[in-house]
Structure 1
Amino acid sequence: MLDTHRDSRAAPLLDAQGVSKSFGSTQALVDAALTLRPGEIVGLLGANGAGKSTLSRIVSGHIQPSGGEVRFRDAPLRLTSTRDALRRGIALVAQETSLAPDMSVLENIFLPDLATPGRLSYGGMRVRAREILSELGHDHALPLDAEVRTLSAAQRQLVEIAKALALDAQLIIFDEPTASLSTTEVNLLFDVMSRLRDGGRALAFVSHRLEEVFAITDRVTILREGRVVAEDVKTSSLSQGDIIQHMVGRDIGAIYAKREVASDDIGDRIFEVRHLRALPWVGDISFSVRRGEILGLGGLVGAGRSEAAEAIWGLRPRQGGEILVGGKPAKLRQPADAVRAGLGFVAEDRRAQNIIPDLSVRENLMVAQMGQHRGFGRGYGKRADRVARLISDLGLPADRLDTSLLNYSGGMQQKIIIARWLLTEPDILIMDEPTKGVDIGTRSSIYRMLQAAADDGLAVIVISSDFEELLGLAERVVVISDGVTIADLPADRLDEEKLTLLAAPRTSTARNQALLADLSRLHRADAFWTLLDDDGLICLAHAGHPDAPKSGLAAGEAMDFSQTMIEQALRTREPSFVAEPDGSRQTLLVQMTDKRGHDMGWIGLTIAGDAVPPDPGDIRVELQALTDETKEP
């Protein structure tokens, strides 16, 4: 176990040492430990099956330990139920919230109080609810009378946190709270967690996403196979490689071993979607992928990516659009048509959409191949050699093929589901959130599987809300927002902030677009909103005036400065209008940032070279007003 020296920080609120837990003959925890102090966020990390959730459930009263010592406020802690834990100020905020969907936000915040005798004051509850939401920085973010079923995943989690604070919880465990959240929603959650930490509460954060661990935690504790292997270590003292090695017990190399693929190594276009329409979620989505290419479909949760995949697969009715396989129109009315056309599809919900629980590992592995088989029997023999190779690659014992798939970890289940489709030898494989809920070691192994398949000529389409995953895995990213294709860009031209801005719902960028239109109209200008690097840009939005000189920018396109008509202005970025060498046009660029200081891009205004320019200060005032509006929670 990694040693750490104790410093002069606050005394532990919770100190668990030597904790064990067995379920029958299965030993879930052997020698686990966790220390939580007021004013700190501690990451609780480990691979699937390491015991993180078991330890979290012990601390929050869901289950009792078999051995070890847990102390809370320097006294032995023996919980008999979750209600007992809540009374003591310990709460668990899980990925799947425990709210009553048919009740209002207000009633859910004070749900434990509804079961107590006596008359409740709804007026007093409203005042207290507003105080709690104000403490979280979201006093206007939740309609207290709305039914919880109508809320987004992020809003439901906010209700769960508010419910914990209504009970004055001083220790809160966040168990994979970001699994169903978009990048923007994750940032909002981290704002809330930071406020709780700064208010003196002790927080534990369970996550598989290491980038989140480095973004929000102060210290980490790492479990492996039920034992603590690194306890209470400063996050800043560790690298991503250090954490991975502790989690899996070996160096698995870089999580994203980026493929070095030359354009000549990628084959012809094998699959194309043109103007797909499947209301209400899919309005106008277009993309294409070539043999040997990994294409990412990026966007926020609810952008329409999964619905587009289901419409392609024949699971959702289409009102328009065209699908081409090998350059020829394909009529994909149902999944069987898609399989015959050479498509494979791993859906997002592993349990509900992929696993057949009554079948064995072998039967789950072979079920898609059976759909291709013609004649008597099951056709297992035709794929025997291929099955043997895949089983070896998966690290699955050959003598366990006839056991239930439910006996395996979520990561192994996912790898078997992917292998199921690789057995059909498809031309195109669509993967919807392929690493959701799996540990870092399994993620790395799934990435290698997909990269090897692409090297063999498979066209891979990956849908993911994890922008780091998309950028690390894909050669090209198609960005989707509100059911519409926004951009199609090489992955090496993007980073997470740029992808977040491109993926923002069009409703949230409407003010920017309206401002560009106003600037264009008032000043006979070519107005644009763009992201700038040293030598290149990505245009987020554009509004042109028929009488204005062109900037050369178009929404959703990436280009080098030299490809535009305003290269001088883009390179110098002066605080005033900059004229191009030929005198034909002049451009003002104003940078925008959000409340965290993140780059929100530049607003640009290109006017005729002989025009009298407006006062740059006046334009900055307009832009600042817009930026201030977008800073509201």
Structure 2
Amino acid sequence: MTDSKTREPLLVARNVTRIFGSAYALRDATMALRRHEICGLLGANGAGKSTLSRIVCGHLSPTSGEILFKDAPLAVGSARDALRAGIALVAQETSLAPDMSVLENIFLPRYAMPGRLSFAQLRQRAQAILSELGHDHALPLDMEVRRLSAAQRQLVEIAKALALNAELVIFDEPTASLSPTEVDRLFDIMTRLKDSGKALAFVSHRLEEVFAITDRVTILREGRTVAEGVPTAGLSQNDIIRHMVGRDIGNVYRKAPSTKAAGERPVVLDVVRLSAPPAVRDVSFSVRKGEILGLGGLVGAGRSESAEAIFGLRPRAGGQVFVAGKEIHPKSPIAAIRAGMGMVAEDRRAQNIVPDMTVGENLFLAQMGKHRGLGRGHSLRRKQAGELMARLGLPADRMDANLLHFSGGMQQKVIIARWLLIEPEVLILDEPTKGVDIGTRQVIYELLREVAEKGIAVVVISSDFEELLGICERVVVMSDGYTIADLPASRLNEESLTLLAAPRSSAERNAVFLRDLVARHGGTAFWGLIDGDQFVCLAVAEGKGGVPTGFAAGHVYFAQETAIPAALEERKPGVVTEKDGRSTLLTRMSNRRGHDLGWIGLSLPPGAKLPDHESLADRMAGLITSRQDEEIHA
């Protein structure tokens, strides 16, 4: 319960204006943040969300306006002042020290504070924070941050903010590189922070997340506040989009029908048993002409590292890569570009943009790598560049402006346009809509569909499973450096994709349980997700002389395609007998938040002695309880 005082705003920003040169980033913006609440701070790219956040956290000074914190004027001249006042920011673009370890970065703000540091205590605290985030095993505390992926660096940024125990925390796009499972863990932590009396602001372009975690929303458009402190429960997605962009967007995931069946299109990119340890162990997939293929998985699955190995950014230890039937061995991006490939890397600031170059210079970087003759080859592409700029809504009269002066969405458009100028046969995009608004996402999706229709093979790596299922024809699922499944998107949903992407260590626990079942009782044991008339097989174990079900891990089946259609169609705990006399016992699994973890089943041949139903169900329930206990203590 909260008293009336806790309902008073902890922070109030009134009429905040910020001018860069002659351009307004904010115009009389307002915002209020309260204890025991999570407020969504929303708006299209360039609306001023990050600018307002950075002003509150001392990274920028306002040109004019007033900010009150705890009913007193907030006078912070630096981020250090804001931290001492109890205000922290989880930045969209990470602000970590690359040559320092994960442990040192988590507690970097402590170095500027008085008092002695106990590294033994800091290590213990850091381990506890990473356990809460579910990544104590994937983020070694002594590893240098420069060796981490962009998604792992984002997790360190979150851990750094949690270590401060601040009264007000602004999360600026913290979920952009996280999978649904990892987002769920973060939301658990945010809810605990809210319940403990913290005030939180949540900046995100994923509207489904806004509805899942926020109590109120404040919406900016072109630097102005157009909705302030509106209860989230009273809004729809269309309401928010209209406030953000001033119009309806419609279905951003519209798929254009292909004129040719998938099997009729030639394979353009073929990856065979790719290995680049430790992140990439055994990865295989193929992409056909005009196809959009998705690579899905959790942080640490090896998706980005696989793309880097394919594109010559990471040395390969084994495997083969073919482009249009010709094996290639790129040892540098230039070699990959000349072999017909393009790649939009995940980290926009560190891997894609040359900060001291203009829009035009950044735009023509890939063309310079591909061009073999004298000069830079710009003249051949200027007309195409102008058409692309217009298509993407980029101001053609600002080609000589510094790219860093543009919003994140505008920067991403320029980066994608850079690769389209070289007309690649294969285009790989790693988190292409990370940190961009719904309107920009729609433009990017339309562009990818047009690119595919022209025959380019497109690979999309994304932590947004809704995005993968919405724009891709097929999804290849990765876990711990291995490809686990290769399935049509139409046969998947977010739940089945999440379960397929689970770490192999987690899946192995269930597989051991299945092997124990068949060792004791014979038959065939399986674990999977039942969705309508489809079954997604996650693991299977067959005993000697068992009754084959035809299941294989990582595949999706219609119920009528299997040997146990009645059990899959009834979808209820207990024993179901098929027409051929075999019997199947099913038990449903779910975690403490009610999320579906699938079904565990045991199928026995006709006439076989059935195990005691209740005792077997209790053993299956024990497996669920142990999983939940691990989640609670993780």
| TM-score, length basis structure 1 | 0.89
Which residues in structure 2 correspond to 1:257-336 (within 5 Å)? 257-261=254-258, 264=261, 267-336=265-334
Q: CA deviation at 1:484?
A: 0.8
> Any conservation in 2 of the 1:41–1:197 contact (CA below 8 Å)?
yes
Q: CA deviation at 1:518?
A: 0.9
The amino acid that maps onto 2:26 is L
Which residues in structure 2 correspond to 1:408-557 (within 5 Å)? 408-557=406-555
Structure-2 change in CA distance of 1:423 and 1:192 (3 Å): same
Distance in 1 (CA, whole Å) between partners of 2:369 and 2:594 is 54
Distance in 1 (CA, whole Å) between partners of 2:360 and 2:207 is 33
> Any conservation in 1 of the 2:106–2:156 contact (CA below 8 Å)?
no
| CA-to-aligned-CA distance 1:574-593 (integer Å, 9 cap, x gap) | 4332221021x211111100
Q: Equivalent residue for 2:164?
A: 164
Q: CA deviation at 1:408?
A: 2.8
Distance in 1 (CA, whole Å) between partners of 2:513 and 2:540 is 10
Distance in 2 (CA, whole Å) between partners of 1:325 and 1:507 is 34
Q: Equivalent residue for 2:39?
A: 42
The amino acid that maps onto 1:16 is A
Structure-2 change in CA distance of 1:251 and 1:77 (3 Å): same
> Any conservation in 1 of the 2:138–2:300 contact (CA below 8 Å)?
no
Structure-2 change in CA distance of 1:113 and 1:484 (3 Å): closer
1:397 to 395, 407, 418: 395
Distance in 2 (CA, whole Å) between partners of 1:362 and 1:520 is 64
> Any conservation in 2 of the 1:561–1:570 contact (CA below 8 Å)?
yes
1:245 to 238, 242, 247: 242
> Tell me, what secondary structure is at the counterpart of 1:620?
helix
Q: CA deviation at 1:129?
A: 5.5
Which residues in structure 2 correspond to 1:30-429 (within 5 Å)? 30-95=27-92, 96=94, 112=110, 115-116=113-114, 146-147=141-142, 149=144, 153=153, 156-157=156-157, 159-165=159-165, 169-261=166-258, 264=261, 267-429=265-427
Q: Equivalent residue for 2:615?
A: 618
> Tell me, what secondary structure is at the counterpart of 1:399?
helix
What are the ranges of 5 or more consecutive residues in structure 2 without an aligned counterpart?
none
Distance in 2 (CA, whole Å) between partners of 1:507 and 1:540 is 13
| CA-to-aligned-CA distance 1:328-358 (integer Å, 9 cap, x gap) | 4444444344333322222222333333445
Distance in 1 (CA, whole Å) between partners of 2:134 and 2:357 is 49
Q: Which runs of 4+ in 1 moved over 6 A?
A: 119-123, 125-128, 130-134, 136-145
> Any conservation in 2 of the 1:276–1:318 contact (CA below 8 Å)?
yes
Distance in 2 (CA, whole Å) between partners of 1:470 and 1:574 is 30
| CA-to-aligned-CA distance 1:462-490 (integer Å, 9 cap, x gap) | 11112121111111101011111111111
Q: CA deviation at 1:114?
A: 7.3
> Tell me, what secondary structure is at the counterpart of 1:488?
strand
Q: CA deviation at 1:365?
A: 2.5
| CA-to-aligned-CA distance 1:492-546 (integer Å, 9 cap, x gap) | 2222221111111101222111111111222112111111012111111111123
> Any conservation in 2 of the 1:224–1:248 contact (CA below 8 Å)?
yes
Q: CA deviation at 1:144?
A: 13
> Any conservation in 1 of the 2:269–2:324 contact (CA below 8 Å)?
yes
> Any conservation in 2 of the 1:109–1:162 contact (CA below 8 Å)?
no
Moved more, 49-58 or 69-78: 69-78
The amino acid that maps onto 1:163 is A
Distance in 2 (CA, whole Å) between partners of 1:604 and 1:571 is 14
Moved more, 350-359 or 183-192: 350-359
Distance in 2 (CA, whole Å) between partners of 1:137 and 1:271 is 39
Q: CA deviation at 1:603?
A: 0.6
Distance in 2 (CA, whole Å) between partners of 1:61 and 1:406 is 20
| CA-to-aligned-CA distance 1:57-79 (integer Å, 9 cap, x gap) | 22233333232232333343333
Moved more, 443-452 or 87-96: 87-96
Structure-2 change in CA distance of 1:132 and 1:560 (3 Å): closer
Distance in 2 (CA, whole Å) between partners of 1:296 and 1:216 is 27
> Any conservation in 2 of the 1:39–1:202 contact (CA below 8 Å)?
yes
Distance in 1 (CA, whole Å) between partners of 2:306 and 2:118 is 47
Distance in 1 (CA, whole Å) between partners of 2:167 and 2:193 is 9
> Tell me, what secondary structure is at the counterpart of 2:271?
strand
> Any conservation in 1 of the 2:473–2:488 contact (CA below 8 Å)?
yes
Distance in 2 (CA, whole Å) between partners of 1:417 and 1:465 is 20
Q: CA deviation at 1:434?
A: 1.2
The amino acid that maps onto 2:367 is Q
Structure-2 change in CA distance of 1:528 and 1:59 (3 Å): same
The amino acid that maps onto 1:590 is T
Q: CA deviation at 1:85?
A: 3.4
Q: CA deviation at 1:179?
A: 2.8
> Any conservation in 1 of the 2:6–2:36 contact (CA below 8 Å)?
no
> Tell me, what secondary structure is at the counterpart of 2:364?
helix
Q: Equivalent residue for 1:29?
A: 26
What are the ranges of 5 or more consecutive residues in structure 1 without an aligned counterpart?
1-6
Q: CA deviation at 1:461?
A: 0.7
> Any conservation in 2 of the 1:106–1:129 contact (CA below 8 Å)?
no
> Any conservation in 1 of the 2:345–2:352 contact (CA below 8 Å)?
yes
Moved more, 192-201 or 169-178: 169-178
Moved more, 623-632 or 516-525: 623-632
> Any conservation in 2 of the 1:153–1:181 contact (CA below 8 Å)?
no
Distance in 2 (CA, whole Å) between partners of 1:377 and 1:140 is 49
Q: CA deviation at 1:255?
A: 2.9
> Any conservation in 2 of the 1:309–1:430 contact (CA below 8 Å)?
yes
Structure-2 change in CA distance of 1:377 and 1:23 (3 Å): closer
Q: CA deviation at 1:109?
A: 5.5
Q: CA deviation at 1:210?
A: 1.8
The amino acid that maps onto 1:320 is G
Q: Equivalent residue for 1:3?
A: none
Structure-2 change in CA distance of 1:163 and 1:280 (3 Å): closer
Distance in 2 (CA, whole Å) between partners of 1:190 and 1:579 is 42
The amino acid that maps onto 2:234 is S
> Any conservation in 1 of the 2:528–2:600 contact (CA below 8 Å)?
yes
Structure-2 change in CA distance of 1:374 and 1:204 (3 Å): closer
The amino acid that maps onto 2:620 is L
Structure-2 change in CA distance of 1:518 and 1:47 (3 Å): same
> Tell me, what secondary structure is at the counterpart of 1:424?
coil
The amino acid that maps onto 1:257 is R
Equivalences, count: 620
| CA-to-aligned-CA distance 1:297-344 (integer Å, 9 cap, x gap) | 111122111111122122222222222333444444443443333222
> Tell me, what secondary structure is at the counterpart of 1:460?
strand
> Tell me, what secondary structure is at the counterpart of 1:258?
coil
Distance in 2 (CA, whole Å) between partners of 1:314 and 1:110 is 34
Distance in 2 (CA, whole Å) between partners of 1:57 and 1:511 is 44
> Tell me, what secondary structure is at the counterpart of 2:574?
coil
> Tell me, what secondary structure is at the counterpart of 1:196?
helix
Q: Equivalent residue for 1:571?
A: 569
Q: Equivalent residue for 1:586?
A: 583
> Tell me, what secondary structure is at the counterpart of 2:608?
coil
> How much is the aligned-residue C-alpha RMSD, in angstroms?
3.3
> Any conservation in 1 of the 2:564–2:584 contact (CA below 8 Å)?
yes
The amino acid that maps onto 1:164 is L
Moved more, 407-416 or 298-307: 407-416
The amino acid that maps onto 1:65 is P
State the percentage of identical aligned residues: 55
Q: Equivalent residue for 2:596?
A: 599
> Any conservation in 2 of the 1:31–1:228 contact (CA below 8 Å)?
yes
